C-alpha cells in the first residue's frame, strides 16, 4: 500500500501472483516486466484482470453485487484506516 518505488511494486505483484495461484488461475504475471511500465505488458495485464472479474462476477459486475457476495467490504475506508496507523493519524477524512 502506498508504494512509491520499483521494489514495492515488485513485492505487490508477487503477492498478487500468490493470490492468483490460490484461486488456481492459469495466468502468472512477471513482476519485473510490469514494473518496467511498458504499455503492451500493462495492457495485457489489464485485459487479464478484466476477464478474471467478468468470469467471477458476470457481465454486470457492479460494486453492489460484489459487496453482497463479499460481506459489504469497504476497501477505501479500510485503506484510510491503515494509512492513518502508518502515518500517525495525519490523514484527512475523505467523503
What is residue 78's predicted lDDT score, i.e. its pLDDT? 79
Residues 53 and 80 in one domain: no
In eight-state DSSP terms, residue 5 is: S
What is residue 61's predicted lDDT score, i.e. its pLDDT? 47
> Is the alpha carbon torsion for 46, 13, 29, 75 positive or negative?
negative
Residues 44 and 76 in one domain: no
What is residue 59's predicted lDDT score, i.e. its pLDDT? 61
The count of domains in the chain is 2
> Is the whole model's pTM more than 0.75, yes or no?
no
- State residue 38 phi and psi, 5-degree precision: -80, 135
State the DSSP H helix or E strand holding residue 43, giving kind and residue range, or none if neither.
Answer: helix 39-57
pLDDT beneath 50: ranges in the chain = 61, 95
Residues 52 and 84 in one domain: no
Residues 92 and 76 in one domain: yes
Amino acid at each position: 500500500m502506498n508504494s512509491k518505488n520499483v521494489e514495492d511494486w515488485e513485492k505487490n505483484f508477487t503477492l498478487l501472483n500468490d493470490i492468483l495461484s490460490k484461486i488456481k488461475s492459469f495466468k502468472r504475471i512477471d513482476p519485473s516486466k510490469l514494473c518496467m511500465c511498458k504499455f503492451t505488458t500493462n495492457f495485457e495485464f489489464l485485459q487479464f484482470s478484466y476477464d478474471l472479474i467478468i468470469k467471477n462476477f458476470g457481465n454486470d459486475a457492479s460494486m453492489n453485487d460484489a459487496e453482497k457476495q463479499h460481506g459489504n467490504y469497504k476497501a477505501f475506508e479500510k485503506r484510510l484506516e491503515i494509512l492513518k496507523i502508518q502515518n500517525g493519524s495525519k490523514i484527512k477524512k475523505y467523503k
